[in-house]
């Protein structure tokens, strides 16, 4: 009994050897060459064509694009500083003017008369001052000899000082009258382009906080482009020199590219908590005057944060 398993294993081995011999005989009988690993390696697929290019080394500038609006550096609502009747308009709508050029004239005659009256009051005050000064000097000798009452002496001194104060008040009134006369000529406070005349010849205008706008004046060159940047950009900006010159190309709505170049001018002093952005201004030359406040602008400041 113990030899039975050994006989079984011997029988299985004999069957395997017989099967292998039969397989070899079948292959040789059909003239088929056995496949080997070396033969498979020699039959590799053809090479695949690929595109190649030389490696280039260059500096890459990081740009970020924003939308903004053009703004005049100086914008003035021209209002009258004295009431009166407009007697002249010295400009045409939309023209360029220089600082100090006349824009409107308000009837100066009442103000000329006021200057004359103030001048007369000043002359009278000066005459009174001269008289009281002489009258106050006489008792000085009498007071030493007790030839004048102390009360009379004090009255003359007080009259002299009052006359001097009246002269100063008259001088101030004359200066005010001259200033008001000067305000009848309304001039351009800055150089730039004027809008239309809102009020024309013959209209009566008032002064003060409710005074009407006569025209609007905006500076031409240079000009601002204002845009908003996000909080993350602002925080990254703080890590760099705020005084660094940052180039800013600008493109208009009808342009595909960027035709003008300026620099960052200022960053606002607070963040808008509603939008999470902060206002930035760039400055551009506008010598030809083609850039107008209010135009849409595409702005692409070079990133400071790369």
Average pLDDT over residues 249-272: 89
Task: Look at residue 66 in the predicted model and tell me its pLDDT.
Answer: 87
Contacts of residue 302, Cβ cutoff 8 Å, sequence gap at least 6: 61, 62, 63, 246, 247, 248
* CATH H-level superfamily of 66-73+219-299: Efflux pump adaptor protein, beta barrel domain (2.40.30.170)
Q: What is the percent of the chain with per-residue pLDDT over 70, rounded to a whole number? A: 75
β-strand partners of 226: 69, 281
- Most confident option among 6-10, 149-153, 180-184, 254-258: 180-184
Task: Look at residue 86 in the predicted model and tell me its pLDDT.
Answer: 97
Best CA proximity match to 164, nearest among 190, 142, 191, 136? 136
Q: Where are the domains of the chain?
A: 66-73+219-299, 108-183
Residue 203 has pLDDT above 90, yes or no: yes
Average pLDDT over residues 118-131: 95
Q: What is the percent of the chain with per-residue pLDDT over 90, rounded to a whole number? A: 49
Residue 211 Cα to chain centre, angstroms: 28
d(CA 247, CA 283): 10
**Residue 202 pLDDT grade (very low, low, confident, very high; cuts 50, 70, 90):** very high
| pTM over 0.75, yes/no | no
Task: Return the SS3 of 159.
Answer: helix
Residue 75 has pLDDT above 50, yes or no: yes
The 3-state secondary structure of 251-299 reads EECCCCCCCEEEEEEEECCCCECCCCEEEEEEEECCCCCCCCCCCEEEE
Contacts of residue 133, Cβ cutoff 8 Å, sequence gap at least 6: 160, 163, 164
The phi-psi region of residue 289 (left if phi > 0; otherwise alpha if psi is between -120 and 50; otherwise beta) is left
**Tokens linked to 280:** 């930035």
- Most confident option among 13-22, 107-116, 137-146, 251-260: 107-116
Task: Look at residue 26 in the predicted model and tell me its pLDDT.
Answer: 47
Residue 154 has pLDDT above 80, yes or no: no
Fold of 108-183: Helix Hairpins (1.10.287)
């Amino acid at each position: 009994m113990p030899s039975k398993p050994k006989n079984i294993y011997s029988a299985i081995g004999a069957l395997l050897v017989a099967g292998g011999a039969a397989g070899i005989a079948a292959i040789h009988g059909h003239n088929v060459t056995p496949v080997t690993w070396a033969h498979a390696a020699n039959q590799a697929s053809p090479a695949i064509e690929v595109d190649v290019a030389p490696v280039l080394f260059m500096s890459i500038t990081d740009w970020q694009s924003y939308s903004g609006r053009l703004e005049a550096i100086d914008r003035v609502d021209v209002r009258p500083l004295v009431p009166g009747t407009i007697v002249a308009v010295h400009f045409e709508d939309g023209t360029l003017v220089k600082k100090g050029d006349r824009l409107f004239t308000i009837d100066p005659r009442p103000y000329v008369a006021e200057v004359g009256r103030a001048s007369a009051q000043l002359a009278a005050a000066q005459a009174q001052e001269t008289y009281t000064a002489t009258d106050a000097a006489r008792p000085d000798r009498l007071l030493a000899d007790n030839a004048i009452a102390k009360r009379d002496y004090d009255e003359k001194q007080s009259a002299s000082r009052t006359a001097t104060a009246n002269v100063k008040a008259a001088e101030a009134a004359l200066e005010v009258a001259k200033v008001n006369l000067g305000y009848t000529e309304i001039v351009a406070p800055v150089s730039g382009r004027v809008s239309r005349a809102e009020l024309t010849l013959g209209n009566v205008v008032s002064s003060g906080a409710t005074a009407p706008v006569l025209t609007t004046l905006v500076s031409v060159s240079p000009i601002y482009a204002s845009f908003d940047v996000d909080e993350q950009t602002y925080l990254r900006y703080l890590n760099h020199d705020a005084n660094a010159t940052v180039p800013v190309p600008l493109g208009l709505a009808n342009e595909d590219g960027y035709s003008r170049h300026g620099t960052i001018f200022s960053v606002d002093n607070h963040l808008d908590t509603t939008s999470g952005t902060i206002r930035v201004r760039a400055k551009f030359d506008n010598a030809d005057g083609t850039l107008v406040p209010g135009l849409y602008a595409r702005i692409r400041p070079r990133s400071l944060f790369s």
